[in-house]
Amino acid sequence: MIGPENAVSQRQRGRYPVLRTAAPTPSAMVNDNVRYHGEEVPVDLILSDFAESAGLAVEKIWVLPRGKGNSSQQMGRWGRQELRKCVYLWKKP
């Protein structure tokens, strides 16, 4: 499993191909947060932390006005709770 401790060691060894291939113009990505065993997983913040660890600058994270619901399997157990849907803007410094 790749965790923050592995990300730091990879950064120190210069193994982030995204830095070699990313254009200097901002890159955008849309993603949803998820729920795992009833707990929200903030995918937007986790991916942005990984991007920063890789040397990208997080320009902006926009939260879209309408989120998404959790899966039907989880609704039966924990009810419906809307999750954030975000657009990230990252840039190679």
pLDDT digits (tens, 9 = 90+) for 35-55: 887 788 899 899 899 888 888
Q: Please tell me the predicted confidence (pLDDT) of residue 3.
A: 47
d(CA 81, CA 93): 37
CA 68 to chain centroid, in Å, comes to 16
Which positions of the chain have pLDDT values less than 50? Answer: 1-9, 12-13
- 15: which 2 tokens? 């193994």
Q: Please tell me the predicted confidence (pLDDT) of residue 1.
A: 40
Q: Please tell me the predicted confidence (pLDDT) of residue 27.
A: 78
Closest CA to 28 of 59, 50, 68: 59
d(CA 55, CA 1): 20
For residue 70, give every residue at least 6 positions away whose Cβ sits within 8 Å of its Cβ, in sequence order, or none: 34, 35, 78, 80, 81, 83
Q: Please tell me the predicted confidence (pLDDT) of residue 34.
A: 84
Q: Please tell me the predicted confidence (pLDDT) of residue 65.
A: 85
Q: Please tell me the predicted confidence (pLDDT) of residue 8.
A: 45
Count of structural domains, the chain: 1
- Residue 51, number of CB atoms within 10 A of its CB: 20
